[in-house]
A and B are shown apart, each in its own frame.
Chain A
Amino acid sequence: MNPRRIFLIAVPYLWLLALFLVPFLIVLKISLSDIALARPPYAPQLDLSAGWNGLRSFFAALDLENFVFLTTDDLYWKAYLSSLQIAAVSTVITLLVGYPMAYGMARAAAEWRPTLLMLVVLPFWTSFLIRVYAWMGILSGEGVLNQFLLWTGLISAPLTILNTNLAVYIGIVYTYLPFMILPIYAALEKMDDSLLEAAEDLGCSRTTAFWLVTVPLSKAGIIAGCFLVFIPAIGEFVIPSLLGGSGTLMIGKVLWEEFFSNRDWPVASAVAIILLLILIIPIVLFQRNEQKQREAEG
């Protein structure tokens, strides 16, 4: 291998090493520590000045106690499951809303596409926090939505939407919609129109052609979009804490509480490690499966 190639490959690996692996190891280390009243609030601290013996006693003091603790309280499992459920339902809704939008954009006249793309990206120009606060204003009992529904006479008393799970779904779908639209749009835009013509020539109706040609060809975009929505939605903290009620149980909120209310960094880190495993294992299995399929086809 020539040096140029090594250099090009090394850049992304160093990036991953510095921004993923090192922080992960630090969190893993804290998750094996014990809580202490100190700065920072856990023990043992790595003391390199004590040399080899210091290193040995440091590793001897690490244990899995915090992971065992997580299994003794059903709060954590309920929060993980509830987060998975909220993320899965939101992903499906985002797909159902996002696919037609992406499809419409890809089918639109070429001179319109940059404008439509711009409209999808435009909300990012405003702070995410402000957009979530705006939803509080829309959904509250005195909010715009209720005022409008009361005015039209569709309802006679304000609906309670804010501080419920429904508001959380609305918030997540709204926030992550562009992440679903963009990859699907990218896949659909590349599609060769002559394939659809061929399908119709061979006797497919337009609907059948859509399901047999368009959808399979946009599969990569659908999968990318679903990952981009599902993964951040699981750990979501801001949306459930601003729009959700006290009954909304999500692992992001539990993690926050461990960190800020209990000030128990080791348990908070253990919660984070498990969350990471829950996310990574299915993705790795999925990719392996994909690769096998590709090899079988090839």
Chain B
Amino acid sequence: MKTSLLSIPAILALSTAAVQAEEVRVYNWSDYIDESLLEKFEQETGLDLVYDVFDSNEVLETKMLAGGSGYDVVVPTGTFLQRQITAGAFQKLDVAKLPNLANMWDVVSSRTEQYDPENAYSINYMWGTTGIGVNLGKVKELLGEDAPIDSWELVFNPENMEKLATCGVHFLDAPSEMIPAALKYIGEDPNSHDPEVIAKVEPVYMAVRPHIQKFHSSEYINALANGDICVAVGWSGDILQARDRAAEAENGVEIAYNAPKEGAQMWFDQMAIPVDAPNPDGAHTFLNFIMDAQNMAAASNYVYYANGNLASQEFLVEDVKGDPAIYPSPAALDNLFTTTPYDPKVQRVVTRLWTAIKSGV
């Protein structure tokens, strides 16, 4: 909720400035690129790059369905991409303009086909998991050496949460990921679209709700790194960025990320071109630039997310390529699940449930 205000300046900027042909407007997730790549793109192509950020798929989807967003490249997550393709929000990619498609990794593109058949509308930017980040020192101090940091027990068991509340817990404000996680915890199908099954997560959340400091989808990076909170349910790379920031600050905070052993959600952020993009040629130029092996590697090395680009792997630093939290082993991959989009009726049940969980009404 609060975060989406980030986009208000963007809306204002768009409504006042006339769209010029030599501009490429990209709308990507916050903290999701090495910003030196943006300058490099402008220098290499001579195009002006306008780069805005969001932190919620819902906000992006509203803009895509309203039309006239003014963006040339947007980055929805797979399930949202699928809905928006159905709604006719994107244009097919012109493969002839994307020679770097040869760099892509079939392990990822075969998985993204469930959202975008034949990958006709999108390329994979990055992918990751939704799991738990902890401040090792504080959590072990409160819960002991054998704290279940690799299990959903840590955040869904009220006994653990009661103790953790003293040092602060953040949850993602993203029902399409938090509800599957709670379903997995109680042993239900995380991809269930049955309202009765989905309703079973309500008591789980109501029991831990008083101990959750905030539902927010981007503040936890800094909060974890500064030591303001000790647990965050968040996205893999974001938590690894927090780990990195804490290490750089040398403030004694040690962060660890785990995809819970019961099973964690695997998601794919896909770059696509809106059907009404003002500059589709520039958009293709940007996609091709991003799919360059060295550029993609630079982005991954910076944000600690795995990408869908095979050729980039030789340029990845060992910290990224060798970290099983970023590039899981084939066995660990089997333990990750994916979800499919809710239809509008179920979506309403999900959002209403989430409002009840967040506000208690």
Contact = CB atoms under 8 A, between A and B. Distances in A.
Q: Are A and B interaction partners?
A: yes
Interface of A: 35-41, 73-75, 78-79, 129, 238, 241-242, 246-247, 249, 253-254, 256-257, 259-264
A253 B5 CA distance: 12
B1 A241 contact: yes
9 contacts: A36-B344, A37-B344, A38-B65, A39-B275, A129-B8, A241-B1, A247-B359, A254-B355, A256-B4
B348 interface: yes
B2 A257 contact: no
A263 B2 contact: no
User: What class of interface size applies to chain B in its complex with A?
Assistant: 35 or more
A261 B67 contact: no
Contacts of B354: 261
B67 A40 contact: yes
B6 to A, nearest CB: 11
Nearest to B8: A129
B215 A261 contact: no
Given A38-B87, A78-B361, A264 B352 contact: no
B74 to A, nearest CB: 14
B15 interface: no
Contact of A242 (B5, B64, B87): B5
Q: Which of A241, A256, A257 has the most CB of B within 10 A?
A: A257
A36 to B, nearest CB: 8
Interface string B1-16: 1101100110000000
**Interface of B (DSSP majority class):** helix
A73 B353 CA distance: 12
Interface of B: 1-2, 4-5, 8-9, 56, 58-59, 61-62, 64-67, 83, 86-89, 175, 214-215, 275, 343-344, 347-348, 351-352, 354-355, 358-361
Given A37-B86, A40-B65, A246-B359, A263 B347 contact: yes
A246 B205 CA distance: 14
Nearest to B357: A246
Nearest to B89: A39
B58 A38 contact: no
B1 A75 contact: no
A249 B361 contact: yes
Contact of B62 (A35, A75, A238, A259): A259
Contacts of B65: 38-41, 263
A241 B67 contact: no
